[in-house]
Every structure is written in C-alpha cells, then in structure tokens.
Amino acid sequence: MNANFFLLSVILFCAVPIACGNENKSEIVSKTENTTANTNKTIVVAETTQTNESELTDAANDSEDEYADIRDKLQTCAACHGEKGVSVIPANPILAGQEFYYMYVQLKDIKSGLRESAIMAPLVADLEKEEMKKIAEYFSKQVWPETTFKTEQADIIAGKKVVTAGQCVACHLGSFKGNSRIPRMAGQHVEYLTKTMLDFKNKVRKNSAAKGSLMTSFSDADIHAVAKYLAGYTGQ
C-alpha cells in the first residue's frame, strides 16, 4: 500500500462519522421542529376549546337570564336606585319589592307626560310597553331591604293622626306594604316620602287627582310627621 492510498483511506474513514453525525443532527433538529409544531397545534386547539367553552357558557347564561334583553336598562336604573333597586340615596325611592303594577303605571305615566320628571322622562322615552312591564316585574321580584330609620314617639303620634284622618289603610292596607296599583310606603326613604306628598299637595305631581286633593287637607308639618311615621313603620 503506497502512502497516497493510505492517506486517502484515513481521510475517508474519518469523514464518515462526521457525515453521519451531521445526518443525526439533522434528524434531531427535524424531530424537534415537528415536536414544536405539534405542541403549538395542541396549544391552539386548547385555546380554541377554551374559547368555545366560554362562548357556550355565556350563551347558556343568557338563555337562563330572563331579563337579558333589558339588562342594560336595569344597569341604568341601578345608577340612581341602587343594585337590584336597593336605593341608598334618600331622595330616590327603593324599588326592590315594590308593587309591580304601581311601578309599571309610573313608568307609563312618566313616558306619557302625565307624571313630570326631568330625570326620568328621557330615560323612559324610548321604552316599549313590554320593556316597562319587564322592568317593573324585575324590581317587584326583588326583596325589600331592611331599613334602619327610627321614628320619634312624637312623630308616631302625629303620623297616626294623619293616617286615621286620611283613611290611608283603605288603600295602602294596615301594613302599608301596598297592593297592586297602590305602592308600599312602609320602610321607604323619609326624604322621598316627604317630597312625594308635598309634590301632590302643591300640584307638582298630577298623576293622582285623589291623592292631590287629600294632601291639601294636611299641613306641611303633618306631611313631615307622617313621612317619618311610615319610613320607620314596624307595625306600631
């Protein structure tokens, strides 16, 4: 064997492992890329599945929410009347647990202009009849909140005189919790009750002629006293 042939054999022998090594590295890189691609596909599938599940959950919630179509309007109401109609603003009435038909009639009267309200009028202007009914129904199904107003004994005595003279229980019942078109007054905010009765007396609120006539027979002091009596009414 001459020297040149020996040198060529050595070169070829040494080159083979390098080539094989390169082939193995290529296979490893290819497998790694395939694994990464499969992992990415799995992640995409998982994300898609989560999105679909979320959409299905949202759809199920909407189908279970009978007030989904007026939910945005209820949120508007909550801005002044509190979450679920539990008002914490003394000038704004509690709606939670109020009589359904009474609330519907008030919305209808405000929309028609029979009852004037600069704040409420724009909000009800575009409401359809069924929407007003549904809003009233929603609030009527909520629970009337516990209130903490305490009536002084002097106001209880004065308030009872007004209630007796006005024969209030004939419409509002002995518990003052209302009946259909007649609103609940027991536990309502004293500020709201006072303003409402004074508005009837001064012909600011005109959607109940009988109530307006009745209120003119009482002094402002009488009205303040009966408002306090009703706000803190506990059956006494």
Question: pLDDT digit string (tens) for 76-116?
Answer: 999 999 999 999 999 999 999 999 999 999 999 999 999 99
Higher pLDDT, 138 or 5: 138
> Rounded to 5 degrees, what angle do the CA atoms 128, 134, 135 make?
90
Contact criterion met (CB below 8 Å) for 120 and 110: yes
Give the pLDDT of residue 35: 55
Per-residue pLDDT for 184 more than 70? yes
Is the pTM here over 0.85, yes or no?
no
Q: From its phi and psi, is residue 180 left (phi > 0), alpha (psi between -120 and 50) or beta?
A: left
CA distance 91 to 88: 9
**Sign (positive or negative) of CA dihedral 36, 38, 39, 40:** positive
User: Is 171 in contact with 74 (CB distance < 8 Å)?
Assistant: no
**13 CB-contact burial (10 Å; exposed 0-12 / middle 13-18 / buried 19+):** exposed
Say whether pLDDT at 220 is over 80. yes
In 90-148, beta strands by DSSP E: none
Give yes or no for a contact between 133 and 104, defined as CB atoms under 8 angstroms apart: yes
At residue 90's C-alpha, the angle toward residues 87 and 96, to 5°, is 25
